[in-house]
Amino acid sequence: MSIGADPSAALAALARRRADYESAGLDVADVDDDPIEQWKHWYGQAVEAGCVEPNAFVLGTVDDEGFPQTRYLLARGVDAEGFVFFTNYDSDKSRQLAARPRASMLFTWLQLHRQLRVVGLVERVSAAESDAYFASRPRSSQIGAWASPQSQPIVDRAVLELRVDELEAKFAGEPVPRPEHWGGWRLDPTMIELWQGRPSRLHDRIRYTRPARADPWAIARLAP
Ligand SMILES: Cc1cc2nc3c(=O)[nH]c(=O)nc-3n(C[C@H](O)[C@H](O)[C@H](O)COP(=O)(O)O)c2cc1C
């Protein structure tokens, strides 16, 4: 197996790596009163800036032993109701969300020296919403959703490839239906925090909180 380039020089310099952030600042007066609208502004700017996978975020859940568990996902919808993502309902993350319907999301747009943290309550989206999104996916991804027992141990990759072949034969010439074990979750935020990198580590942090959906968002500046 190839192990690639020698990383020792990069590792030796790791503690000394320092980028100074010259970006424009962030003030309570400048941000949108609604953090979801603010997310949309920042997402649009991330797309314009060419950030890699601008809709990627780290989903944080808590497992049965109380350990935090994180992994990247892709946001597929954002509106006044919250943030939507799709996955396997039998996966580890979905089992954790079902047991404790609370989660965090972390978006990072490093080229813009920005992160956006979200905390909130989660619930499954409607079957109709999952159906609609599933139908919009490439056929190979639809087959993949059937083929992969996400988060389960498998003997080798050939197991998956064999399942894909079997499923392609099974669904040949017809639309691939959504498996019941695959669908969306919506996170309804109670907290959203914007972080903008600034020079000399005096970064800007603006936190929005809303204890319940009916409450207005409260906005505060936090020390970096
Ligand atoms: C950039 C990126 C995007 C991803 N998007 C998704 C996604 O939208 N849905 C998904 O189920 N897994 C996605 N994954 C894979 C997950 O990180 C994870 O490996 C998988 O969902 C199993 O997680 P779990 O065992 O904690 O349930 C993505 C991974 C990366 C690196």
From the CA of 69, give the closest atom in ligand 1.
26
Nearest CA to ligand 1 atom 5: 73
Q: Which residues line ligand 1 (CB under 6 A)?
A: 53, 56, 69, 71-74, 85-88, 91-93, 150-151
Q: What is the pLDDT of residue 5?
A: 80
Could you say which of 201, 205, 207, 221 is catalytic? 201
CA dihedral (63, 72, 45, 202) in degrees, to 10, reads 60
Taking each helix axis as running N to C, give the angle between helix 139-147 and helix 157-170, from 0 to 180 degrees, rounded to the nearest 10. Answer: 120
* Residue 200 region by backbone torsions, left for phi larger than 0, else alpha for psi between -120 and 50, else beta: left
Distance 72 CA to ligand 1 centre (A): 5
In ligand 1, which atom is closest to the CA atom of 71?
17
Q: What is the pLDDT of residue 211?
A: 86
pLDDT tens string for the chain (224 positions)? Answer: 566 788 888 888 888 887 777 777 898 988 999 999 999 999 999 999 999 999 999 999 999 999 999 999 999 999 999 999 999 999 999 999 999 999 999 999 999 999 999 999 999 999 999 999 999 999 999 999 999 999 999 999 999 999 999 999 999 999 999 999 999 999 999 999 999 998 888 899 999 999 888 999 999 999 99
Pocket test for ligand 1, best of 71, 110, 186 (most atoms within 8 A of CB): 71
Q: What structural domains does the chain harbor?
A: 22-135+180-222 (2.30.110.10)
- Centre of ligand 1 from the C-alpha of residue 35, in Å: 25
What would the 3-class secondary structure string for the chain be? Answer: CCCCCCCHHHHHCHHHCCCCCCCCCCCCCCCCCCHHHHHHHHHHHHHHCCCCCCCEEEEEEECCCCCEEEEEEEEEEEECCEEEEEEECCCHHHHHHHHCCEEEEEEEEHHHCEEEEEEEEEEECCHHHHHHHHHHCCHHHHHHHHHCCCCCCCCCHHHHHHHHHHHHHHCCCCCCCCCCCEEEEEEEEEEEEEEECCHHHCCEEEEEECCCCCCCCEEEEECC
Which amino acid residue places its CA nearest to atom 7 of ligand 1?
Answer: 73
Per-residue model confidence (pLDDT) at position 6 = 86
pLDDT at 3: 67
Between the CA of 159 and the centroid of ligand 1 the distance, in Å, is: 20
Query: What is the rounded CA–CA span in Å between residue 86 and residue 30?
Result: 33
pTM of the model: 0.94
Q: Is 201 annotated as catalytic? A: yes
Q: How far is the CA of 196 from the centre of ligand 1 (A)?
A: 26
**What is residue 1's predicted lDDT score, i.e. its pLDDT?**
56
